[in-house]
Amino acid sequence: MKAFAEGAIPRQTGIIVVGDRKSPADFHLDGCTFLALADQAAAFPRFAGLLPLNSYARKNIGYLWALKTGARQIIDTDDDNAPFPSFWTPRSKTVDGRLVERNGWINAYAYFSDALIWPRGLPLDQIRQPDAAPAANGRAQRVCPVQQGLADDNPDVDAVYRLILPLPVKFTSGDDIVLAPGAWCPFNSQNTHWWPEAFPLLYLPSYCSFRMTDIWRSFVVQRILWANDWCVSFHAATVYQDRNEHNLMRDFEDEIPGYVNNSRIAGTLADLDIRPGAENHGDNLRACYSALVRLGVVGVEEMPLLDAWIDAVESLTP
């Protein structure tokens, strides 16, 4: 966090730190805005009141604060990541990269490593598919309002990987890859760049597995982006992770809903009638999360919270 702050201050970039029950009430770091629970309740009383405590999804408050304070770009990260100098290189919403065209799953990590490695959330039966990373020989320029950066050393992989395969890992450099509509790949909340077209889609669900909240968000986001002919891109590592301590068997247990449901979720979302246009983001989010509730992977308690999110975003969006 100190490294992010040291880089952000001279670039006049704000850092938002979202507190929870175990956060010190007097937290301070130069260059950071710290939102204690009382601050969150004062700024967004309805949404903060519905949002569970002791929840990773309290990051949603940080997203709303960024909108409230006029952010033009949002980079989503966690406190166990640290930036390389390349993290601060300005990025364009239009990406000139290697185009991946596929109706189905792809392994984005395979474009940046020759090792057997895959992103958390990729269905296990896709990992050893011989065409898990189809050739991306052509170049294209595409609007990518969501761009996933990789992380070196302890990248975002699932518990199965961590239990049986080696770490640390360093990814190779290389041109960005752009996933054409129809190409599914999970992306996370570790090093992810968002532009205003996608701000309303930042919502992290609360009533599901902690290990799946950002992954299932990524599937919802991809489906809605495709309706607008927008893409997701992946680029080489611009951070490294010194991972907080985890119980890997507990992570494995929390990831089971993804191992057994991610393909079903993708198929269900693909079949939805999603309407283009940023003005339809709210209705599209409701359609997607209602479908996840019907599948039984997200609790029914999600919908009032999602409604509060949509109302908050609409009140903050010009």
Report DSSP state, residue 185. Answer: -
What sign for the dihedral angle of Cα 71, 79, 220, 96? positive
Give the pLDDT mean for 24-36. 94
Assigned domain for 37 exists: no
Give the pLDDT mean for 104-110. 97
Report the greatest alpha carbon distance in the chain: 53
Q: Does the pLDDT of residue 160 top 80, yes or no?
A: yes
Assigned domain for 18 exists: no
Assigned domain for 178 exists: yes
Assigned domain for 163 exists: yes
Assigned domain for 186 exists: yes
Q: How many CA atoms lie within 13 A of 88 on its CB side?
A: 16
**Number of folded domains in the chain?**
1
Beta strands in the chain (DSSP E): 15-18, 32-35, 74-77, 81-83, 94-100, 104-105, 139-143, 146-152, 177-179, 183-184, 191-194, 232-241
Rounded to an integer, what distance in angstroms lies between the CA atom of residue 175 and that of residue 138?
12
Assigned domain for 65 exists: no
What's the pLDDT at 133?
92
3-state helix, strand, coil in the chain (%, to 5): 40, 20, 40
Assigned domain for 9 exists: no
Assigned domain for 24 exists: no
**Mean per-residue pLDDT over the chain, rounded:** 96
Q: Does the pLDDT of residue 38 top 80, yes or no?
A: yes
Output the six-digit token pair for 100.
């991946």
Domain that holds residue 87: 74-316
Q: Is the pTM for the entire model greater than 0.95? A: yes
